[in-house]
Structure formats: C-alpha cells, structure tokens
Amino acid sequence: MDRIIRGITRDKSIRFFAIDATQTVQKAVDIHHLSMTNSVIMGRMISAALMMAADLKSDKNVITLKIDGDGPCGNALVTARKNGNVKGYAKHPEVELPLNEITKTFEIKQAIGKGTFTIIKDLGLKNPYIGQIELKYSTIAKDLTYYFAQSEQIPSSVGLGVLVMPNGSIKKAGGFIIQVLPQTFEVVISQIEENLAKFPNLTDMMDLGHSIEDLISKFILKGLEPQIKETAPAQYKCDCSKEKFENGIKLLSKKELQEAIDTNETLTIHCHFCNTKYNFDKKKIEHILEKM
C-alpha cells in the first residue's frame, strides 16, 4: 500500500516528509482517464497534498492545492486529509502535449502556463487559511518550495516525480519535502545541499527498488541521522454520497423541485472527484419536497 512517512533528524534541526503514491496516482488516472501530461501534473499535486496534509492536527482538517494557469492543462485541484485520503480533478483531463524532442520529457511548464497557485488549509476555524503565490516555475515542486519560503517563512526543498509508462500507466510516483527548522547550523544546511546536488532522479531511484525510507536515510539526509516518527497509508478516496448531494438539492427552491416533478425530470448530479453520477427520480424529489 502507498504510504507517507514523516520525521525529524536526531538533532531536531531538519524535519522531513516522503511519500510513495504510485497506486494512488494510478487510481486517479483510471478514474479521470488522464492523459500522460495530466497524469504527471495530478500525480505531483497528489503527492504534495498528501505530504502537507500529514502535518495537519486532525483528520477533520483539510488541505487543498489549486493551480489556475493559462496553459492547456493549467487548471487542477487536489484535496487531502491527515488520514491519507486524497481526491482531485483536472479541468482538461484528456489534453496531451508532445514530449520535448530533445530531453524526451513532459512539457509541464508549458502545459500549466502562467497563473496562480493557491493553498487552502481548513483547520476547523471560522475562516480557512488561504495562501496564494504566482506560478513562477509552473513545475509544482519549485512553486511549493517558493511558497514555503514566502508564505510560511520555512526554507524547504520539495521533490516530486511521476514515472509514466508508454501505455499511460504509472510505474512510480512520489515525493519528498525537507524543511530547515530555526537555528539550524550552516554545516547541516550545507550537508543537505550537497546531498541534494548528488541525488539522482527521484522516480528513477524508486524504480531501481529504493524505498522512500532508503531515499531519505541513505541519500537525501545521509549523515544527518533522520528518524521516522510516523508512517501512514495513502489512498485515493472520495467521500461523496447520495445523502450529501441530496442536501445540495434541498438548496433548490420549492418551485424548481415542483417543476422537475411536473415534467417527470430526473435530476442527475455528477461528482467531479470520482466521476460517480447520482440520480434523483420523481419519487425521490417528491420525498425531498415533502420534507421541506
């Protein structure tokens, strides 16, 4: 099963998060019929949201990542909880861009384009925390690194990767977040920078058989004695239900509901996160109207 790990170095100067999200991203691809380009974008957002959600205090808290770019794949949203459940959708899931002819990599920056990156933290308070930055890099990982520095004043390094097979299936997907805590010695920061400079491609290393635990201890935080404090499962899971959408129908006016009954109309509501369709026939609408 996919999993998220979080921890801190022995001297408590660096905290870290890492995730293997391969199966979770594959399920998102299957549900939304994502193109390979969208698979990379959504996969990066899913990994990032799950790692950030692991830092929340309660399973009731929710974190949402939203990109609004002017590129052909520039609109997507992912929401995650501390319990490892994540869901999301892309506005243009079928759009595909050709690979870069030279590097043979996905043109993610071109696909997303210019725009904004919004991070919403619903902590159960009166108003959610909303942070928004300009998409300076449009690669998601570098944009999050910039967000942490600008909005939360936490020096960070974010790595995200999705390895897509020629048939569109997900071979590996994951990521890491390394954050420097206050009063960290410069020698520690230099060690991390050196480790990251030598670190190969994330998903290639996962494909070679390295676990996320190994990637943290043997490569990214090598020599810094990282200690894993928590391991949690991750999965793509939508929490929609017919009952929840029925509450939405109750927001319609009595006149609108009566018109649906008179015309024998079936109201169909589509969940963007899991592509499930819920039908409310004449009998069900009559029942809803009676209770209003």
How many Å apart are CA 17 and CA 27, to the nearest integer?
22
Domain co-membership, 206 together with 265: no
How many Å apart are CA 232 and CA 165, to the nearest integer?
27
The pair of three-digit structure tokens given for residue 62, joined into one six-digit string: 């929710």
Domain co-membership, 262 together with 166: no
Domain count, the chain: 2
Single residue among 205, 220, 236 that ends a domain in this structure: 236
Contacts 24+ apart (CB under 8 A), 211-217: 211/20, 212/3, 212/5, 212/18, 212/19, 212/20, 212/174, 212/176, 213/5, 213/18, 215/18, 215/176, 216/5, 216/7, 216/16, 216/18, 216/176
- Greater confidence (20 vs 243) lies with 20
Task: Judge residue 281's burial from the number of C-beta atoms within 10 Å of its C-beta, 0-12 exposed, 13-18 middle, 19 or more buried.
Answer: middle
What SS3 state is found at 55?
coil
Domain co-membership, 223 together with 254: no
CATH number at residue 277: 3.90.1280.10
> What is the DSSP secondary structure assignment for residue 266, as one 8-state letter?
P
| pLDDT single digits (tens) 87-114 | 999 999 999 999 988 888 899 999 999 9
How many Å apart are CA 143 and CA 52, to the nearest integer?
14
Do 112 and 74 form a contact (C-beta atoms < 8 A)? yes
Bridge partners of 104, per DSSP, are: none
CATH number at residue 114: 3.55.30.10
Do 71 and 138 form a contact (C-beta atoms < 8 A)? yes
Do 227 and 10 form a contact (C-beta atoms < 8 A)? yes
Residue with the two structure tokens 């020629």: 166
Q: Is the pLDDT of residue 292 over 90?
A: no
| pLDDT single digits (tens) 166-222 | 999 999 999 999 999 998 999 999 999 999 999 999 999 999 999 999 999 999 999
How many Å apart are CA 186 and CA 184, to the nearest integer?
6
Domain co-membership, 102 together with 203: yes
User: In the structure, what pLDDT confidence band is assigned to residue 126 with cuts at 50, 70 and 90?
Assistant: confident
User: In the structure, what pLDDT confidence band is assigned to residue 252 with cuts at 50, 70 and 90?
Assistant: confident
- DSSP code per residue over 76-132: EEEEEETTSEEEEEESSTT---PPPTTT----HHHHH-SEEEEEEEE-SSSS-EEEE
Torsion of CA 247, 251, 256, 261, to 10 degrees: 10
Mean pLDDT (whole number) for 252-264? 90
> What is the DSSP secondary structure assignment for residue 9, as one 8-state letter?
E
User: What per-residue confidence (pLDDT) applies to 248?
Assistant: 84
Model pTM score: 0.93
User: What per-residue confidence (pLDDT) applies to 276?
Assistant: 94
Q: Which domain holds residue 270?
A: 242-290
Domain co-membership, 185 together with 228: yes
Domain co-membership, 229 together with 247: no
User: What per-residue confidence (pLDDT) applies to 148?
Assistant: 96
Domain co-membership, 28 together with 66: yes
Residue with the two structure tokens 């449009």: 138
